[in-house]
Structure 1
Amino acid sequence: MVFESRKKGILLVIIGSMLWGISGTAAQYLFQQKGFSQEWLVETRLLVSGIVLLLYVLLKEKQDIWKVWKDKQSLLNLLLFGIVGMIGVQYTYFAAVLHGNAATATILQYLSPVIVTCYFVIRTKKIPNVREISAILLALFGTFFIITGGNLHSLSISKLALFWGISSAFAAAFYTLQPRALLAKWSSTLLVGWGMTIGGIVFAFVHPPWVFTGQWSVNSMFAVVIVVLFGTIIAFYCYLESLKYIQPTEASILSSVEPLSAAALSVLCLHVPLGVSQWLGTACIICTVVILSYTKKNERVSSSQPVISSGEIQ
């Protein structure tokens, strides 16, 4: 029975992670082949997904979705999470996809655990342990291979793709660290629901959802559904549901399926050229996530483990 439950948990986290990866590829298709604007997709995804998640908390989990607003200590952090964290991580990720591709955008965003680790190393003023040093070196090697293709004299991705990809990793690190106090009081579903809704409402003043550019077709409508429904709401639900059956560390490691699925789909469906160096870089960064996830509880980096998974960012 326990074995069956573990299999269910593993399957759920793999499905959720694959859906996150698929959504990045769908976004690339919308940007580069259908002319959709990054701003419209960010706004639509935040607002629709946020409202649906809040309805899920209200109707399925039977929670009072307004109670977080009655806690004055949580209010400022919640607004910061929605406006800076949620908008920041979504906008930078989609910008990296727009100027590059879903594969490199997702892989570069997976540098965020290394940034979080470096933050704790600096904050605690302690010498990094062997695991941390190994993870940082692997991340640096992986990034080098991805952005140069192994050639020191050229970039294999555009400067804008590199800028937004690295920015996405820093935004993801902020998104991971900032809501720690909130998650001590409230469920991640409630916080992500409100974070997306707040982000969507605020971003509507920057880019109203009715301002649209792009080409509608059956394929583009399907891609939007993948990004908003399957790649956000269903993926998020699968990940959270998996935590009932497996440990968060296992879920974090298995969520590395996300960059692999994004890379594979980019190659197969959108014909993005990824050479041996890019695949080697991908492997290095995935190994980084695995190393940090397996860090023992009594090691400092355990305090830096994401309280919201990298996948939940997408």
Structure 2
Amino acid sequence: MNKPSRKTGLFLVITGATLWGVGGTVAQKLFQGYAINVNWLVTTRLLIAGILLLTVQFIGKDRSQVFGVWKNKGIAVQLIIFGLLGMLGVQYTYMASINYGNAAVATLLQYLAPVMIIIYLLLRRQTVLTRQDLITVFLALSGCFFLLTNGSFSELNVPTSSIVWGVLSGVALAFYTLYAVPLTKKYDSIVIVGWAMIIGGFTLSFIHPPWQLDFAGLTIEAYLYLVFVIIFGTMIAFWFYIESLQSLSPKETSLLGSLEPMSAVLTTVFWLKQPFGLFQWLGTACIIGMIFLLSLQKKS
């Protein structure tokens, strides 16, 4: 298989990151405009996206990995843990934060994960504190303060439940990132993430089965939004992002990946008409600046 060109790689990562961000905003529209249950949406998007990703692997890549990942008992146990605590943890907390608040705040809070990873590695004494780490933490904390309070010390500008779920989403993403490393060194990322999605979706289906929905009561517009969130905002977004690594460096991919929070903020404000104050824009700039700073680091 020929290596994609650099232009193709740029197209893939920009499209993937943008779809991720817009997908969160469309999910907010489903929660608030069509009363879609968050448990149902997480279950359905994980199951369908996971099956589609494994299908891509089976048809276009090394198909032996699709079921070969289960032959090693140790890897199988790790994959189940990753699916439950990593994938399901990230997806559910993120969607719950959107459900109680909005996609912009949820996405930006989730991007506190790098700071949590820095703190974890410092506590484990696996890294040393650098000046860049201090700047990163300062930008993250400043961004959170402005984003959540809009510059006021007296009250929060975002529902507390949305903040709690958003911070938990950052914790889950930090775990997801650290725990996935040994798995993706042995198997293709699409295989690991595809199975993790299916594991997470299958588990949550015991709480809210995907067939329990008033399908007849949904409008054509609602169905289009569902297709976008599941296919474009989940499956294609991840697939394009991973494929871009074939022609771009991880640094370039992660840098352009910061388009996710940017697209989530812009669509939340201008499409859903969610009010954003001056200090919230400043907070958004701080967090996006933190992402750019981390992306430009020479060492991962």
2:14 is aligned with 1:14: yes
> C-alpha displacement at 1:93, in angstroms?
0.4
Quickly say closer, same or farther: Cα 1:88–1:213, change in 2 above 3 A: farther
> C-alpha displacement at 1:173, in angstroms?
0.6
2:202 is aligned with 1:201: yes
Match of 2:75 in 1: 74
> C-alpha displacement at 1:125, in angstroms?
6.2
**Runs (4+) off by over 4 Å:** none
For residues 126 and 55 of structure 2, the distance between their equivalents in structure 1, rounded to whole angstroms, comes to 43
Match of 1:308 in 2: none
The one-letter code of the counterpart of 1:88 is: G
> C-alpha displacement at 1:11, in angstroms?
2.2
> C-alpha displacement at 1:6, in angstroms?
2.7
Pick which of 207-216 and 284-293 moved more.
Answer: 207-216
| TM-score normalised by L of structure 1 | 0.91
Match of 2:31 in 1: 31
Q: Deviations over 1:117-160 (max 9, x none)?
A: 11111111654101111101100000000110011111110000
> C-alpha displacement at 1:272, in angstroms?
0.4
For residues 125 and 55 of structure 1, the distance between their equivalents in structure 2, rounded to whole angstroms, comes to 38
Match of 1:101 in 2: 102
For residues 144 and 26 of structure 2, the distance between their equivalents in structure 1, rounded to whole angstroms, comes to 24
1:95-134 equivalence runs, <5 A: 95-124=96-125, 127-134=128-135
**Aligned with 1:56: secondary structure?**
helix
Match of 1:269 in 2: 271
For residues 214 and 166 of structure 2, the distance between their equivalents in structure 1, rounded to whole angstroms, comes to 24
For residues 126 and 10 of structure 1, the distance between their equivalents in structure 2, rounded to whole angstroms, comes to 32
- Alignment check: 8 A CA contact 1:144 1:150 kept: yes
Quickly say closer, same or farther: Cα 1:20–1:125, change in 2 above 3 A: closer
**Aligned with 1:278: secondary structure?**
helix
Quickly say closer, same or farther: Cα 1:70–1:126, change in 2 above 3 A: closer
- Alignment check: 8 A CA contact 1:35 1:213 kept: no
- Alignment check: 8 A CA contact 1:142 1:282 kept: yes
Q: Deviations over 1:244-267 (max 9, x none)?
A: 221111110111111111111111
The one-letter code of the counterpart of 1:155 is: L
For residues 262 and 208 of structure 1, the distance between their equivalents in structure 2, rounded to whole angstroms, comes to 28
For residues 126 and 252 of structure 1, the distance between their equivalents in structure 2, rounded to whole angstroms, comes to 21
**Aligned with 1:70: secondary structure?**
coil
Match of 2:284 in 1: 282
- % identical equivalent positions: 44
1:125-164 equivalence runs, <5 A: 127-164=128-165
The one-letter code of the counterpart of 2:234 is: T
- Alignment check: 8 A CA contact 2:43 2:210 kept: yes
Aligned residues: 295
- Alignment check: 8 A CA contact 2:53 2:239 kept: no
For residues 126 and 16 of structure 1, the distance between their equivalents in structure 2, rounded to whole angstroms, comes to 31
Pick which of 261-270 and 116-125 moved more.
Answer: 116-125
| TM-score normalised by L of structure 2 | 0.95
For residues 121 and 7 of structure 1, the distance between their equivalents in structure 2, rounded to whole angstroms, comes to 38
**Aligned with 1:270: secondary structure?**
coil
Match of 1:43 in 2: 43
Q: Deviations over 1:178-199 (max 9, x none)?
A: 1221111011100000000111
Q: Deviations over 1:67-115 (max 9, x none)?
A: 0100112011100011111111111000000000011111110111111
The one-letter code of the counterpart of 1:40 is: W
The one-letter code of the counterpart of 2:145 is: F
**Aligned with 1:13: secondary structure?**
helix
- Gaps of at least 5 residues in structure 2 are none
The one-letter code of the counterpart of 1:278 is: Q
Q: Deviations over 1:198-255 (max 9, x none)?
A: 1111111121112225851111101101110001111112111211221111110111
- Alignment check: 8 A CA contact 2:20 2:233 kept: yes
* Superposition RMSD in Å: 1.4
> C-alpha displacement at 1:5, in angstroms?
3.1
The one-letter code of the counterpart of 2:201 is: G
The one-letter code of the counterpart of 1:135 is: T
- Alignment check: 8 A CA contact 1:37 1:213 kept: no
Match of 1:189 in 2: 190
The one-letter code of the counterpart of 1:33 is: G
- Gaps of at least 5 residues in structure 1 are 303-314
For residues 10 and 119 of structure 2, the distance between their equivalents in structure 1, rounded to whole angstroms, comes to 29
For residues 128 and 113 of structure 2, the distance between their equivalents in structure 1, rounded to whole angstroms, comes to 20
